[in-house]
């Protein structure tokens, strides 16, 4: 059986990298398989389809997140499956299935894979559905309504809330033309939820604050001016702009295995090679965002989470939040901010207001203007934001995170929408009908407005 390193292959989206069979006596992993891994907070039901093409195995993860399998290897001793960008399953053949472990991000749990159409497979699916039903989140309740509640089509908003309930949402918030519409929370209890990758653009606000305070001269400041150990070779060419728009060329460690086990993620990033010339290629990069957290913290003279709390969160009245850190004490940049849906929407409103809150400028206006504009003609990415364009017009500014986190801004309509899902045994990503949240809001807005 190939080693773990042998099966790590291309990081090109959607590319299947098959691995040749070791010999003709190999056990057959072909077909549809199902397995369940459980953490204290979540249930992961994985459905995979594996096929043999000539002398090689290929396949796809069908649920909960459809994606190609990066590699599949199998012999008489067991199976190893690597998913694009996410994780892996490794295990041994036992009693008609595979006994092993499922690893993804910070998750490392036991799993048993069995044929989907087997009696054991059908029972597993049924039991998982029953367990999820027992942990179904409470319905959303409005806990705070703002002036815009009276200026927007409430029938359309009620339909949105109903859809959010059906999809197992934990929080929902809307701002319209600078005013709160409403905040809804499961069971009427406002709670912070891990925003996952939506952390990235919130961290990026720290750069805008540094510029406003003149602690940074420009987003084109070289990283080596802050971390001198990067003053040689291609590392010396990397700027803060490159970190923000995912074009640094820094090795991404996108299997997340080594990255998530790193005790010091800033040092991990600093020791990572540059694999493409800075500015040459845009590739989503968790590693670079962890380094950005270090850049903000070092330039600010205090950890990035504390800096943002003092300079941005406190003026907005955001108090109930947590920001996870690595073992070395670095705030995470790739994810880690747990925050209420309404507070996340307030941060979106701050961006639409060009960094001004209650008459006080908190974030550099030029930085925010650049943040929501394409950084290149080829790629609809701003500074830590994704963009939807209508010709040259920016139709939407957005970011999403694992497990159903969405933050969306429509600049022309002055609308901010946030949807969040807390990790729970009742949430099923595969049946989340709000995975197209951005498009739902964009298409529905015409039915909401007051003009």
Write out pLDDT tens, residues 225-281. 999 999 999 999 999 999 999 999 999 765 556 787 899 999 999 999 999 999 999
Least confidently predicted of 55-69, 268-282, 361-375: 55-69
29 has pLDDT over 90? no
Question: What per-residue string of b and e applies to 400-434 under the rule 16 or more CB within 10 Å gives b?
Answer: bbbbbbbbbbbeebbbbbbbbbbbbbbbbbeebeb
Average pLDDT over residues 1-9: 29
Least confidently predicted of 133-147, 151-165, 251-265, 410-424: 251-265
Give me the CATH code for the 140-447 domain, please.
3.40.710.10
Q: Does domain 4-134 match CATH 1.10.3470? A: no
Per-residue pLDDT band for 7 (boundaries 50, 70, 90) equals: very low
Other Cβ atoms less than 10 A from the Cβ of 268: the count is: 21
DSSP code, position 22: S
Instruction: Give Cα separations from 127 to 84, 132, 365 (angstroms).
Output: 28, 9, 53
Cα 184 to Cα 177: distance, rounded to the nearest angstrom: 19
Domain boundaries in the chain?
Answer: 4-134, 140-447
Asked, as a colleague might, if the bond just before 20 is cis with ω within 30 of 0, I would say: no
Instruction: Give the DSSP H/E element, type plus range, for residue 189.
Output: none
Per-residue pLDDT band for 11 (boundaries 50, 70, 90) equals: very low
Per-residue pLDDT band for 324 (boundaries 50, 70, 90) equals: very high
What pLDDT is attached to residue 412? 93
Express each pLDDT in 92-118 by its tens digit. 999 999 999 998 867 889 999 999 999
144 has pLDDT over 50? yes
The predicted model scores a pTM of 0.86
Among candidates 151, 29, 170, 22, which has minimal Cα distance to 89?
29
């Amino acid at each position: 059986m190939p080693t773990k390193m042998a099966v790590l292959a291309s990081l090109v989206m959607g590319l299947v990298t098959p691995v040749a069979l070791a010999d003709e006596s190999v056990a057959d992993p072909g077909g549809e398989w199902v397995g369940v891994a459980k953490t204290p907070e979540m249930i992961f039901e994985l459905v995979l389809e594996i096929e043999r093409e000539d002398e090689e195995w290929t396949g796809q993860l069908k649920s909960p997140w459809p994606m190609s399998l990066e590699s599949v290897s199998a012999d008489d001793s067991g199976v190893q499956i690597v998913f694009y960008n996410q994780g892996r399953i490794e295990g041994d053949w036992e009693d008609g299935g595979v006994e092993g472990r499922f690893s993804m991000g910070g998750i490392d749990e036991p799993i048993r894979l069995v044929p989907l159409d087997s009696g054991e497979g059908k029972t597993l699916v049924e039991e998982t559905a029953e367990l999820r039903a027992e942990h179904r989140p409470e319905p959303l309740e409005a806990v705070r309504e703002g002036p815009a509640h009276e200026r927007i089509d409430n029938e359309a908003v009620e339909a949105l809330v109903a859809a959010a309930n059906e999809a197992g949402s934990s929080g929902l918030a809307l701002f319209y033309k600078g005013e709160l519409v409403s905040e809804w929370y499961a069971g009427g209890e406002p709670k912070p939820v891990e925003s996952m990758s939506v952390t990235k653009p919130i961290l990026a606000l720290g750069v805008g604050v540094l510029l406003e305070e003149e602690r940074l001269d420009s987003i084109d400041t070289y990283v080596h001016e802050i971390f001198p150990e990067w003053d040689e070779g291609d590392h010396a060419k990397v700027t803060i702009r490159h970190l923000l728009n995912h074009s640094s060329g820094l090795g991404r460690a996108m299997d997340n295995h080594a990255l998530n086990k790193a005790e010091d993620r800033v040092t991990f990033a600093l020791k990572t090679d540059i694999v493409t010339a800075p500015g040459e290629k845009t590739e989503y990069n968790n590693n670079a965002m962890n380094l950005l957290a270090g850049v903000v913290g070092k330039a600010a003279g205090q950890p990035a989470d504390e800096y943002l709390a003092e300079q941005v969160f406190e003026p907005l009245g955001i108090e109930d939040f947590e920001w996870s850190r690595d073992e070395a004490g670095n705030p995470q940049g790739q994810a880690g901010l747990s925050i209420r849906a309404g507070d996340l929407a307030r941060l979106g409103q701050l961006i639409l207001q060009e960094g001004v809150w209650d008459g006080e400028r908190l974030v550099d206006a030029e930085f925010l203007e650049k943040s929501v504009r394409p950084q290149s003609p080829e790629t609809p990415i701003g500074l830590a934001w994704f963009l939807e364009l209508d010709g040259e017009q920016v139709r939407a500014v957005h970011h999403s995170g694992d497990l159903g986190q969405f933050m969306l801004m429509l600049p022309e309509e002055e609308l901010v929408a946030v949807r969040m899902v807390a990790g729970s045994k009742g949430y099923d990503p595969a049946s989340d009908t709000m995975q197209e949240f951005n498009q739902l809001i964009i298409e529905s807005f015409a039915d909401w407005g007051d003009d």
